[in-house]
Structure 1
Amino acid sequence: MAGFIAAQRDADRVPHATSCRALGVSQAWFYKWRHGDASARYARREQLKIAIRRWFAKHHGTYGSPRITADLRDEGWQVSRNTVAKLMAELGLQARRKRRRKQTTRPGRGKWRAPDLIRRRPR
């Protein structure tokens, strides 16, 4: 959308303020997009994203936000689990646990066995 606003200014000489108002976005958002976000919060979140990717890869995609938060805190970051969860969602990182196969039948593993009333042939 910001690219469209900039293109309107260049092609048709429509002021940024008019385009932003028509599209329902703030001018501050447009200028932040245009010049880049130089805030300390943005820089910290970008560094945090790098650290989250590193820990996620280190644990082969099996750690979720609580464990990665613990690793980051051990590293010296002051961060909440919810922040890590939100950043992981933005990055598209989702922990996957290995599922164990549920064994429903275990032949020969009990003390009592039902009597063979139909006289099956043993294998």
Structure 2
Amino acid sequence: MSQERRNFDKEFKLMTVELSKSRESIQELAKELGIRAELIYRWRPEYLEKPEGSFTGHGKPRHTPEEAEIARLKKQLRDVEMERDILKKGHQHLLQGRREIYRFIACQSSRFPVDKMCEVLKVSRSGYYSSLKGTVSKRAKENQELLSLIKQEHKKSRQRYGSPRISQALRANQVQVSRPRVARLMKQAQIKARMVKRFRVSTDSK
């Protein structure tokens, strides 16, 4: 069972720091006060750095407007550096489609926050998490069904039809599809038209 976290007021911290100045063993002082020695080691430099402004707001040091602005700029710089690193590693995946972007995010999730990667790579978090569950989009299902029909027509033609003639055959069977889409699916599935050599009969001159 975990112990309840204790809060120490400013007076207690100041007293502890003053006592630690005359003690050789911080560990012994910590035992006497019933606190961890790490707290004393943390409070002492905080007090020495800024005696008048230390131990405000449950032990958190008070920041001047200048210090707050520096902290904000440092955070902004860290965000910019993170975005740069994400783009540096993931720019190739941007050209390969949403599925590859999701794969990149999954591979890099231990290094970068998922929210930040989705923001930088322009994909939705819901889309990414759906991809992890194996959710197939409506378009992906249509492509799977269409690819099956393409393979059938390709087989019927003894592998001689390319995307133009397969597109015509599909439209003749009431399947509304464009030739570029057929060509793209054939390329992804590595389906190619088999070239047939034509032999021309010629007569030798006497």
Same fold by TM (over 0.5)?
Answer: yes
Q: Distance in 2 between matches of 1:80 and 1:8?
A: 36
Q: Distance in 2 between matches of 1:86 and 1:96?
A: 17
Partner of 2:113: 15
Question: Percent same amino acid at aligned positions?
Answer: 31
Q: Aligned-pair distance for 1:74?
A: 2.3
Partner of 2:204: 107
Q: Aligned-pair distance for 1:40?
A: 2.2
Partner of 1:25: 121
Structure 2 gaps of 5+ residues are 1-100
Pairs within 5 Å for 1:41-52:
41-52=139-150
Bigger Cα Rg: 2
The reply on whether 1:67 has 2:156 as its aligned counterpart is no
Q: Distance in 1 between matches of 2:166 and 2:204?
A: 41
Q: Count matched residues.
A: 104
Q: Aligned-pair distance for 1:78?
A: 0.7
Are the counterparts in 2 of residues 61 and 95 from structure 1 also a CA contact under 8 Å?
Answer: yes
Are the counterparts in 2 of residues 17 and 27 from structure 1 also a CA contact under 8 Å?
Answer: no
Q: Distance in 2 between matches of 1:88 and 1:3?
A: 23
Partner of 1:88: 186
TM-score, length basis structure 2: 0.41
Partner of 1:6: 106
Q: Aligned-pair distance for 1:49?
A: 0.8
1:7-56: CA deviations, max 9, x gaps?
554x56x53123456xx534436335323454322211111011111211
Q: Distance in 1 between matches of 2:139 and 2:198?
A: 41
- Kindly indicate which of the two structures has a greater share of residues assigned to helix: 2
Among 142, 152, 157, the alignment partner of 1:54 is 152
Are the counterparts in 2 of residues 62 and 96 from structure 1 also a CA contact under 8 Å?
Answer: yes
Structure 1 gaps of 5+ residues are 114-123
Partner SS state of residue 86, structure 1: helix
TM-score, length basis structure 1: 0.63
For the structure 1 residues 65 and 4, does the alpha-carbon distance in structure 2 shift closer, same or farther, using more than 3 Å as the test? closer
